[in-house]
Structure 1
Amino acid sequence: MGEVRPITRVGDPVLHNPCEAVTRFDGDLEALVDDMFASMYAAEGVGLAANQIGVPLRVFVYDCPDENGEHHKGVVVNPSLELPALGERHLDPGDEGCLSVPGQFAPLPRPDRAAVRGFDVKGDPVTVEGTGLLARCLQHETDHLDGHLYIDRLPAKRRKQVLAAYEQSHAASL
C-alpha cells in the first residue's frame, strides 16, 4: 500500500506545465504509482495524475466505471490520447470536477469515447479504451499531464465563476 500524499491545488505551477516523459521503469515508478492510488482513494477520486501530487511525470492512475457500470482500474505511463474523428464524435455533456479544484463541478462536453496508448508500470505497452465516465477520465487525466485543468476548457465566464466559488469555499475552510 502506498503513502497518501497531499493533492496539489489549482494555482500550483506543477499543474500548469506539461509533464516530463517517464524514462525509467523501476521501483521508484512502482512506489509513485502505489502512492498515487493511495492518494486517489483517500481523496475519493476516480483518477489522478502524477502532477496532482507534485510529481511532474507523465503517469496517471484510474479506477472508474464505463458507460455500462463496469469498473476499470489501471495505470498509464506516457499516454497518448486518441479521440474519434470529428464526424464520428458524440459529445457527453456531463459535469466534470477535479481533486485539484475540490468541491467544484461544471458542465464540460467531451467525446463519449476515448482511448489512450502508453505503457504499464513495467514498461509494457497498454491501450485503454473507454466510454462514459472512463472516457472522460482518460481525457481529463491526459489533460493534466499536458498542463491543463478541466476549468481551462470552460468558457471564460464559467471558469471565473468556478474559481470564485472555489476560492470562497477554500477561504471558508481555513
Structure 2
Amino acid sequence: MTVREIRLYGDPVLRTPCAEITEIDDGTRALVTDLLDTVKLPGRAGVAAPQIGVGLRAFSYNVDGDIGYILNPRIVEVRGEAEPTGEGCLSVPNLWHDARRHPYARAEGIDLDGKKLVLEGTGLFAQMLQHETDHLDGMVYLQRLDKETRREAMKQVRESSWF
C-alpha cells in the first residue's frame, strides 16, 4: 500500500492542466494503485493525480463506500443551476467554503483496459466529479468562490501554518 503525500496549494503542479494518458502501461497502473491507496484514508472523497505530484488526467474517488478511479475524464453533462455547496480540499487543508457546483454531473473517460467508463451522480458524487476534474484542468476550488469569499479564503491560506 502506497499512500502518497498530498501537494498543497501553491505547488505549481496544482495550477497546471494535466496531460492525457496516451498509453496504459505499468506506470499508469502504478499511478491508479497509488491514487486508490491514497483516497481510502478517512475523510477523502477524491484524489486527483496532480495532488500527488503527477500531471496526468486521472483521479480516484471514495464516496459513500463507492471506491474507484477514472482515466482521462471529461465532464460531459451537468444539470441544474450551480449552487453554493460546502467544500474543502486536501490541498487546501482546514478551509471550508461554499463553491458553486451543479447538483448533477456526468463524466466520461476510460479504465485501465482502455474501455469507456461513465461516472455520474448527484449530491456529493456530482460535487466530487466536478472538483476532481477541476484539479485536472489546473484549477483549485478556491477559484470557484465568489469574489468576497475568495478574498477571505486567500487571507486564511496566507495565515495558515502550512502555506
TM-score by length of 2: 0.91
Which deviations, in whole Å up to 9, do the C-alpha atoms of 1:124-164 show, x marking residues without a partner? 11001111000000000000000001101112331121122
> Aligned residue for 2:88?
97
Task: Pick which of 157-166 and 54-63 moved more.
Answer: 157-166
Aligned to 1:147: 138
Q: Residues 43 and 72 (structure 1 numbering): CA distance in 2 closer, same or farther, change over 3 Å?
A: closer
Q: Which amino acid aligns with 1:15?
A: L
Does structure 1 conserve the Cα–Cα contact (< 8 Å) formed by 2:36 and 2:68? no
Q: Hey, what does 1:47 align to over in structure 2?
A: 46
Aligned identity (percent) is 40
Provide the C-alpha distance between the structure 1 equivalents of 2:21 and 2:51, rounded to a whole number of angstroms: 16
Residues 13-162 of structure 1 aligned to structure 2 (within 5 Å):
13-42=12-41, 44-65=43-64, 71-84=65-78, 89-162=80-153
Asked whether 1:9 is paired with 2:8, we answer: yes
Question: What secondary structure, in the 3-state scheme, does the structure 2 residue paired with 1:74 have?
Answer: strand
Structure 2 segments unaligned to the other structure (5+ residues): none
- Distance, in Å, in 1 between the alignment partners of 2:44 and 2:23 is 27
Deviating more after overlay: 19-28 vs 89-98? 89-98
Return the alpha-carbon distance in structure 2 between the equivalents of residues 142 and 36 of structure 1: 14
Q: Which residue does the alignment assign to 1:68? A: none
Residues 103, 166 of structure 1: 8 Å contact kept? no
Query: How many Å apart are 1:43 and its aligned residue?
Result: 6.6
Q: How many residue pairs align between the two structures?
A: 163
Could you state the TM-score of these two structures normalised by the residue count of structure 1? 0.86
Corresponding residue of 1:165: 156
* CA distance in 2: counterparts of 1:20 and 1:72, whole angstroms: 26
Q: 1:101 to 1:55 in 2, by over 3 A?
A: same
Name the structure with the higher strand share. 2
Q: Secondary structure at 1:126's aligned position in 2?
A: strand
Query: CA shift at 1:92, angstroms?
Result: 4.2
Q: CA deviation at 1:49?
A: 0.5
